[in-house]
């Protein structure tokens, strides 16, 4: 495998409502089954609790059990592990997407757009900056669920090659999920990954999954159905370069600055 190839595994799971211990236990064999096959393993949004607004009850700290568990899983399986959990920091609560390296280093992205329809904006604080991770020469923009609806926040200003969304996106609005993932890939000439959950949460909302991968032209590469599933895909940087060279649409983009 050449240096520029990038293996990414998507774990689409049924999350046990507000039970971090059980969710971590369920994930361990899934992660272990991928050992040696991937650079990055992606878990859904709030993978240890489900999309619960009980921030005070469920929040952990950056030295809490789930963060330490992610460090151990990344170390044991020699991978980057990412997904979001509820974090308390400086008396504020964040829907925080963690980016955990095998050496124990942890970077993060705090969800910018809070889902006010479900009251996420009441107890949670929004993030203030984008996070661009780098792996094998790739630049990956980290985003969380509702961020998908806001194209300006995701706009490729010549700083990334891949958009990565983790989500708890309900079945009722699945058409929005599919159409916006495709739109983000088309307008940004980037690979786009969306990792969603399946099952039903504690509020009775069903989730259909449809975790998906799109190429730089908005073409669907892979999609999981409505069941627990793991997808592993090898991304070729040469494919991205060839696509952007053949269709140099990004050269015509509008210039702007996010304030």
pLDDT per residue, tens digit, the chain (259 aa), is 455 899 999 999 999 999 999 999 999 999 999 988 779 999 999 999 999 999 999 999 999 999 999 999 999 999 999 999 999 999 999 999 999 999 999 999 999 999 999 999 999 999 999 999 999 999 999 999 999 999 999 999 988 999 999 999 999 999 999 999 999 999 999 999 999 999 999 999 999 999 999 999 999 999 999 999 999 999 999 999 999 999 999 999 998 887 7
From 60, 79, 111, 141, the catalytic residue: 111
11, 15, 70, 67: which is closest to 37 by C-alpha?
11
141 an active-site residue? no
* CATH code of domain 6-251: 3.60.110.10
**Integer Cα distance of 47 and 256 in angstroms:** 34
- Give the helix ranges, DSSP H, for 38-133: 55-58, 65-77, 120-123
Q: Which of 45, 60, 71, 79 is catalytic?
A: 45
Spell out a b/e string for 158-183, using b for 16 or more CB atoms within 10 Å of the CB, else e: eebbbbbbbbbbbbeebeebbebbbb
Residue tagged active-site, from 60, 120, 141, 145: 145
> What is the distance in angstroms between the CA of the first residue and the CA of the last residue of the chain?
40
Is 111 designated active site? Answer: yes
The domain spans of the chain are: 6-251
């Amino acid at each position: 495998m050449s240096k520029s190839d990038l293996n990414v595994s998507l774990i689409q799971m049924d999350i046990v409502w507000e039970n971090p211990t059980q969710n971590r236990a369920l994930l361990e064999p899934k992660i272990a089954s991928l050992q040696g096959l991937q650079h990055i393993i992606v878990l859904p949004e709030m993978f240890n609790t489900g999309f619960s607004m009980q921030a005070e009850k469920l929040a952990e700290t950056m030295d809490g059990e789930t963060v330490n568990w992610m460090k151990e899983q990344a170390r044991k399986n020699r991978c980057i592990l990412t997904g979001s959990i509820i974090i308390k920091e400086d008396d504020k609560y964040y829907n925080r997407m963690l980016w955990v390296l095998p050496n124990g280093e942890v970077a993060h992205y705090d969800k910018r757009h809070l889902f006010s329809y479900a009251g996420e904006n009441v107890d949670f604080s929004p993030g203030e900056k984008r996070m661009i991770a780098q792996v094998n020469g790739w630049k990956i923009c980290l985003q969380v669920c509702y961020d998908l609806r806001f194209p300006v926040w995701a706009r490729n200003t010549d700083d990334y090659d891949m958009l990565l969304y983790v989500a708890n996106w309900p079945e009722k609005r699945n058409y929005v999920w599919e159409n916006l993932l495709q739109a983000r890939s088309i307008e940004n000439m980037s690979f786009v990954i969306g990792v969603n959950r399946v099952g039903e949460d504690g509020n009775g909302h069903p989730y259909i999954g449809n975790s998906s991968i799109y190429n730089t032209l908005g073409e669907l590469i892979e999609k999981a159905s409505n069941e627990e599933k793991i997808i592993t895909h090898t991304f070729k940087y040469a494919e991205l370069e060839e696509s952007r060279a053949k269709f140099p649409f990004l050269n015509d983009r509008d210039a702007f600055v996010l304030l």
